[in-house]
Amino acid sequence: MSSRRYKLLEQYPDLDLTRWWYERAFIGYYPSWLVGVESTKVRLQSRVTKAYKSGRGWRLETKDGQVFDCDKLIVLTGLASDPKPPDIANVDSSFLGPVMHTCSLGRQHHLLTAPEVKEIVVVGGSKSAIETVCLCIDAGKFVHWVIRTDGGGASMMIVTDKDNPRIISLNATRIFNVFSPSIFATSGF
């Protein structure tokens, strides 16, 4: 465990690092962490309108006209950066449960983990759907997972036959660190 992580545990003993990526923990934690950690290098609520190579690095322009130069550019927008909540027009009118997008899991986490909720339907096969399925199973819920059958989405990412692993599973091997930068890699930058 890195010394920075130990400092986080000392500074925020109630922070659940096993689930920090969920919005409910992240939103409350991140701004308070910035107070003591080079907050001049972080811009929150900024929309980058242009990013282009400039010499040996990158130049970024924001919506409000600020310009930044950097050596490395890491884009972490994810698929939910522009959420498209499900439009379920033909839902049976007797269904009274909530319908949500994964971008609101943090705010609505209590709805998934409520003791009276026994069954949950997850629609879609993206990585966030996989994480949602795991979250619900960990919470003791029975999950109905609806994914397409054409070979894309989750079916690409999950090995269903131990004797015939999917080609995408090679992506999880160490050799692929050379081709795919990771925030967890200690070299290659």
pTM reported for the whole predicted model: 0.45
Torsion of CA 123, 184, 45, 100, to 10 degrees: 10
At 68, give phi and psi (nearest 5°): -130, 140
Where does the pLDDT of residue 4 fall: very low under 50, low under 70, confident under 90, or very high at 90 and above?
A: very low
What is the DSSP secondary-structure string of 54-95? ETTEEEEEETTS-EEEES-------GGGS------TT--TT-
Query: What one-letter code names the amino acid at 138?
Result: D
Query: What one-letter code names the amino acid at 44?
Result: L
pLDDT digits (tens, 9 = 90+) for 78-128: 554 566 666 666 666 777 778 888 777 878 888 888 999 999 988 887 777
Torsion of CA 180, 181, 184, 185, to 10 degrees: 90
The per-residue pLDDT for 115 is 92
DSSP strands (E only) in the chain: 48-54, 57-62, 67-70, 119-123, 142-146
Domain layout of the chain by residue ranges: 1-36, 47-76, 80-156
Distance CA 14, CA 34 (A): 18
The per-residue pLDDT for 20 is 43
Where does the pLDDT of residue 46 fall: very low under 50, low under 70, confident under 90, or very high at 90 and above?
A: confident
Mean per-residue pLDDT, 116-143: 85
